[in-house]
């Protein structure tokens, strides 16, 4: 059995050509997601490869491209994931995030909390869907899936949804 420290992501590359237009808030969320992901994750592609792993994410033909390589950049696996099942969740997540950022500026704390609960619920739903779509391909814990869903959203342009 592999050492648990090997089952982790040590580097994340987001294809700049796939990044959606950003606001200061979404750029901050992306940076925090990458930082948190690198600090604490549990990630292992199914197969014989033993990490740690490098991850490259991009969008190609309405699919999420997940390129996994070893620390020395030797390729391990490429997964193409249709974004169609994520369309509703990502669209709703973008809308609720806009409401949340507006509420932070103008709304009372109880309204901010209510919107944030909805935002977290959608985020969890997207994370669960990501785990389900990668079942049998990649093993990851829920916190890793949450951070990867945040990155999926940062790559997911409005034209795709």
Non-local CB neighbours of 137 within 8 Å, separated by 6+ positions: 45, 46, 77, 79
Does residue 75 lie within any of the structural domains? Answer: yes
Q: What is the pLDDT of residue 157?
A: 55
pTM of the model: 0.86
Q: Give the chain's residues under pLDDT 50.
A: 1-2, 158-161
Does residue 160 lie within any of the structural domains? Answer: no
Q: What is the pLDDT of residue 161?
A: 43
Residue 78, classified by CB atoms within 10 Å of its CB into exposed (0-12), middle (13-18) or buried (19+), is exposed
- CA distance linking residue 61 with residue 83, whole number of Å: 10
Q: What is the pLDDT of residue 101?
A: 86
Does residue 53 lie within any of the structural domains? Answer: yes
Does residue 161 lie within any of the structural domains? Answer: no
Q: What is the pLDDT of residue 21?
A: 66
Q: What is the pLDDT of residue 4?
A: 56
Does residue 51 lie within any of the structural domains? Answer: yes
Domain housing 92: 4-155
Q: What is the pLDDT of residue 23?
A: 73
Question: How many domains does the chain divide into?
Answer: 1
């Amino acid at each position: 059995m592999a050492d648990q420290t090997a089952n982790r992501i040590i580097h994340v590359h987001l294809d700049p050509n796939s990044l959606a237009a950003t606001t200061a808030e979404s750029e901050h969320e992306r940076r925090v997601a990458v930082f948190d992901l690198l600090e604490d994750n549990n990630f292992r592609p199914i197969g014989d490869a033993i990490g740690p792993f490098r991850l490259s994410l991009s969008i190609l033909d309405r699919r999420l491209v997940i390129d996994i390589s070893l620390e020395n950049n030797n390729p391990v696996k490429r997964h193409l994931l249709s974004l169609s099942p994520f369309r509703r969740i990502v669209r709703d997540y973008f809308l609720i995030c806009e409401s949340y950022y507006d509420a932070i500026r103008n709304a009372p704390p109880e309204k901010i909390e209510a919107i944030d609960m909805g935002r977290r619920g959608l985020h969890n739903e997207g994370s669960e869907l990501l785990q389900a779509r990668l079942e049998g391909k990649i093993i990851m814990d829920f916190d890793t899936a949450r951070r990867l869903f945040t990155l999926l959203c940062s790559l997911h342009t409005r034209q795709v949804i």
